[in-house]
Chains A and B, each alone.
Chain A
Amino acid sequence: MMPLLTTKGLSRNFGGLRAVDNVDFALMPGEIRAVIGPNGAGKTTFVSLVSGRIQPSSGMVVFDGADITGLPAYARVRLGVAYTFQITSVFANLSVYDNVALPVQRTLTDGRSKGAVRTGVMAALERTGLADRTHMLAGQLSYGHQRLLEVAMGLALKPRLLILDEPTQGLADSEIDNFIELVREIAKSATVLLIEHNMPVVMHLADRITVFNAGRILAEGTPEQIRANTEVQDAYLGTTHG
């Protein structure tokens, strides 16, 4: 099977610092992949390179067999690479409905029918359990609900690859359980690339785990393999809490 996403020799310098250093990475369709690593390991920079929010210093990004290295972020989103922000950035002054309508209306091919937007919005809101809050301003939602709205917006893009950047950060334990269910649900129709600090979540969800350290891939494997990897324990699990 051909990988959905590959990077070859992907690097990014910030001044003298190599935030991402010559990363070769491959992601198979349908996978749930977790990216872990200590703070400053280059995880967020790496997914930003994949989503096109920043440009690489060198290397290439291939999505579904096509080189997308030179494409701007919005064009990658149109190809099916969706990114949900680490820091919640829903449109606080717009209603929940409008927040989701924005991604929905763009993915619609028939621009005419009025009902199509509404149907799409409600579907995404129902999947994330926000359907009863349609007319609230997004800024008035609780933090956990804002994170869910963020996911709903990602879902509404009908992505083929959904990048979740620390989605459980700041969520209560009960919310996290729901969240795990939601990601499993999403993974039925999309490939998921997940940056996560919460190790139980990672171990529960991920098919495979990629460990970053100092801008490079330190290890890659199933949760069991990663748990058993002594190098990873030294670099990460031993020194940083989850």
Chain B
Amino acid sequence: MKDASPAKPYALHLGVIALLFALSFVLPDYHHGLLARIMVLAVFAMGYNMLFGYVGLLSLGHAMFFAAGLYGAGLAVIHLGWSVPAAFAVGILCGAVLSLVIGVLALRTSGVAFMIVTMMFAQVFYLVMLYLASWTGGDQGMVVPQPARVLSFGATSLELTNPTVRYMSALALFSIVLLVTLAIVRSRYGRVLVAIRENEERTKMLGYDTFSNKLAAVVVSGTICAASGAAYALLFGYVGSSFASVQYSILPLLWVLLGGAATTLGPLVGTLFMYYVVDITSGYTSAYLLIVGIALILLVLFFPKGILGTIRHRWLGWLP
């Protein structure tokens, strides 16, 4: 947000997207599939970062927004037989509406109370998904049937189960959200969000309706998370209540903390790093949550700025 020329950040972000595109052709199958998944989940982390990093609102309930997109899209295909684009739109819409409602309620609180309230609303959402097991499949979850996961443009149709199509779809979503995030944080609105994080009282006295600004941020954040969830359902073909559990509210927090809160690329770095750490250690222990726990504590104790936050602080001041 310094007055640096906009060329550098945009070049960097386009470079990252180009690199991810190129990787599609060189990565071995296993890592190719993993990276597609990581990109979708990095979108989840970017949505989380929008609120946590830039507005300073620490939510412990973002799993509900991810799951709203997941169920919205997945169930629209499973029960209503809708097409992929329509289902994707439904998923996003579910997230937008849910985040608006939750935002209006939860933003009446702040600080610790905000954290607990969001956690409780997410818990309610999770339990409702379990309770409606006849539609949602409960904790068993449901498989989105393969024949339905097809994108049709007139005569041509792309099967989302195909690894390359899946990878490119994930990359497309990731790129759009990354560039949108970059544009938002460099905009005047982004400046207001950071001001609210730094000193809400002062921001009010500059004439800003901070409640509305925060509410908008919750909705943007929730909608991005829902887009990630909807994409997950359609690309990987599974919806289940575990994605609505507390754990999936903690994970984006961990990814963002690790990669660097309030950095546009931090969510990707954090998700990538954590996914590979878990992947490597899963050979030694089934208790991968142990790693998550240790990582959380080490991060808040010794590395609160995260990877990119530290790099920005030490070397690259212009990093958005």
| A to B contact number (C-beta, < 8 Å) | 69
Which A residues touch B206, using CB under 8 A?
77, 102-103, 106, 153, 157
CB of A39 closer than 8 Å to a CB of B: no
Which B residues touch A74, using CB under 8 A?
204-205, 207-210
Quote the shortest CB–CB distance from B196 to chain A (angstroms).
10
Q: 11 new A-B pairs (CB below 8 Å) besides A72-B204, A74-B205, A94-B194?
A: A85-B202, A90-B202, A91-B198, A91-B199, A93-B198, A94-B1, A98-B1, A102-B191, A105-B191, A106-B206, A135-B3
Which B residues touch A85, using CB under 8 A?
202, 205
Which B residues touch A105, using CB under 8 A?
188, 191
Quote the shortest CB–CB distance from B125 to chain A (angstroms).
31
Q: Is the CB of B191 within 8 A of A106?
A: no
Contact with B along A72-103 (1 / 0, CB 8 A): 11110110001101000111111101100111
- Which of A72, A77, A101 meets B191, CB within 8 Å? A101
Which B residues touch A82, using CB under 8 A?
205
Q: Is the CB of B204 within 8 A of A94?
A: no
CB of A117 closer than 8 Å to a CB of B: yes
Which B residues touch A72, using CB under 8 A?
204, 209
CB of B2 closer than 8 Å to a CB of A: yes
Residue of A with least CB distance to B207: A77
Quote the shortest CB–CB distance from B214 to chain A (angstroms).
13
Which B residues touch A188, using CB under 8 A?
none
Q: Is the CB of A95 within 8 A of B191?
A: no
- Count of interface residues, chain B, beta-carbon cutoff 8 Å: 20
**Given the complex of chains A and B, what is the CA–CA distance between A107 and B208 in angstroms?**
10
CB of B164 closer than 8 Å to a CB of A: no
Which A residues touch B2, using CB under 8 A?
95, 135
Which A residues touch B192, using CB under 8 A?
102
20 CB < 8 A contacts A-B: A72-B209, A73-B205, A74-B204, A74-B207, A83-B205, A89-B201, A89-B202, A91-B199, A94-B194, A94-B198, A95-B1, A95-B3, A101-B191, A102-B192, A102-B208, A105-B191, A106-B207, A106-B208, A117-B188, A134-B3
Within 8 A of B (CB), among A31-79: 51, 53, 72-75, 77-78
- Which of B1, B3, B194, B207 meets A103, CB within 8 Å? B207
Main secondary structure of the interface of B (DSSP, over half): helix
Residue of A with least CB distance to B205: A83
Which B residues touch A97, using CB under 8 A?
3
- Which of A73, A77, A89, A98 meets B199, CB within 8 Å? A89
Q: Is the CB of B3 within 8 A of A51?
A: no
Quote the shortest CB–CB distance from A32 to chain B (angstroms).
21
CB of B203 closer than 8 Å to a CB of A: yes
Quote the shortest CB–CB distance from B217 to chain A (angstroms).
16
Q: Which B residues are closer than 8 A to A by beta carbons?
A: 1-3, 188, 191-192, 194-195, 198-199, 201-210
Residue of B with least CB distance to A80: B207
**Given the complex of chains A and B, what is the CA–CA distance between A72 and B209 in angstroms?**
9
Residue of A with least CB distance to B213: A74
Question: Given A89-B199, A91-B199, A135-B2: A98 and B191 within 8 A (CB)?
Answer: yes
Please provide the 7 A-B residue pairs with the shortest distance between their CB atoms, ordered closest to farther: A77-B207, A91-B198, A105-B188, A103-B206, A78-B207, A74-B204, A89-B202
Which B residues touch A53, using CB under 8 A?
201, 205
Within 8 A of B (CB), among A162-177: none
Question: Given A97-B3, A98-B1, A105-B188: A91 and B195 within 8 A (CB)?
Answer: yes
Quote the shortest CB–CB distance from A132 to chain B (angstroms).
14
Q: Is the CB of A73 within 8 A of B202?
A: no
**Given the complex of chains A and B, what is the CA–CA distance between A93 and B262 in angstroms?**
13
Question: Given A91-B195, A117-B188: A102 and B203 within 8 A (CB)?
Answer: yes
**Given the complex of chains A and B, what is the CA–CA distance between A53 and B208 in angstroms?**
13
Residue of B with least CB distance to A83: B205
**Given the complex of chains A and B, what is the CA–CA distance between A83 and B203 in angstroms?**
11
Which B residues touch A135, using CB under 8 A?
2-3
**Given the complex of chains A and B, what is the CA–CA distance between A53 and B205 in angstroms?**
8
Which A residues touch B204, using CB under 8 A?
72-74, 77
**Given the complex of chains A and B, what is the CA–CA distance between A38 and B202 in angstroms?**
26
Question: Given A74-B204, A74-B207, A157-B206: A102 and B3 within 8 A (CB)?
Answer: no
Quote the shortest CB–CB distance from B200 to chain A (angstroms).
11
Which A residues touch B199, using CB under 8 A?
89, 91
Residue of B with least CB distance to A134: B3
Quote the shortest CB–CB distance from B1 to chain A (angstroms).
6
**Given the complex of chains A and B, what is the CA–CA distance between A81 and B191 in angstroms?**
22
Quote the shortest CB–CB distance from B141 to chain A (angstroms).
43
Residue of B with least CB distance to A103: B206
Residue of A with least CB distance to B195: A102
Which B residues touch A93, using CB under 8 A?
198
Which B residues touch A101, using CB under 8 A?
188, 191
